[in-house]
């Protein structure tokens, strides 16, 4: 039993990249592992899960605190501008105000966001035609492409960005 448990542990460590650098278990270890008990397998699973936990918490700790945008903090620059200009226009179904806001967004692209202008212009055109749903769809498309990266890399940048 002890040999089986040790073999399973070694296989688990090798699978997690924590073993001696070997990429495959020796054939005899594979055969032995096949005859392990459920409790030995559970021990390896728990060990592998525990060893993965520090890397998840390390990435969370590495996340930058922007000092804005979270509950209890002031809004970040773009976030505040969007709420004041875009969200209010959408909630009032004011397609004229929405078109103007999307024109401002198109005129201030973020470097490296290649579809920014096109998406904003399409949304502004839809808003000018009175098509609120199509304009909102352009907002969602832009958010899908860029929102996560923007929040991660430049959440506290001035908005609109100066040209």
What confidence tens digit (pLDDT) does each residue in 90-111 have? 999 999 999 999 999 999 999 9
Residues 98 and 52 in one domain: no
Q: Does 98 map to a domain?
A: yes
Question: Bigger pLDDT: 125 or 160?
Answer: 125
Total domain count for the chain?
A: 2
pTM of the full structure: 0.60
Domain span holding position 24: 2-62
Residues 45 and 81 in one domain: no
Residues 88 and 37 in one domain: no
Q: Does 39 map to a domain?
A: yes
87-95 contacts at long range (C-beta below 8 A, 24 or more positions apart)? 90/132, 90/135, 90/136, 90/139, 93/132, 95/127, 95/128, 95/129, 95/130, 95/131, 95/132, 95/135
Question: What share of the chain in percent tops pLDDT 70?
Answer: 60
Q: Is the pLDDT of residue 86 over 70?
A: yes
Q: Does 27 map to a domain?
A: yes
Q: Is the pLDDT of residue 63 over 70?
A: no
Residues 146 and 90 in one domain: yes
């Amino acid at each position: 039993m002890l040999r089986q448990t040790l073999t399973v542990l070694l296989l688990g460590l090798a699978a997690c990249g924590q073993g001696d650098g070997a990429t495959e278990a020796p054939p005899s270890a594979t055969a032995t592992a096949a005859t392990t008990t459920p409790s030995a397998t559970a021990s390896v699973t728990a060990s592998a899960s525990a060893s993965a936990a520090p890397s998840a918490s390390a990435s969370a700790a590495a996340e930058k605190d922007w000092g804005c945008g979270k509950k209890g903090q002031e809004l970040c620059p773009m976030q505040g501008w969007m709420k004041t200009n875009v969200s209010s226009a959408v909630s009032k179904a004011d397609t004229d105000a929405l078109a103007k806001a999307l024109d401002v967004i198109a005129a201030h692209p973020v470097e490296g966001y290649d579809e920014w202008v096109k998406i904003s212009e399409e949304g502004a055109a839809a808003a000018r035609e009175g098509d609120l749903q199509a304009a909102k769809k352009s907002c969602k498309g832009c958010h899908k492409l860029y929102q996560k990266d923007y929040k991660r890399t430049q959440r506290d940048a001035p908005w609109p960005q100066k040209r």
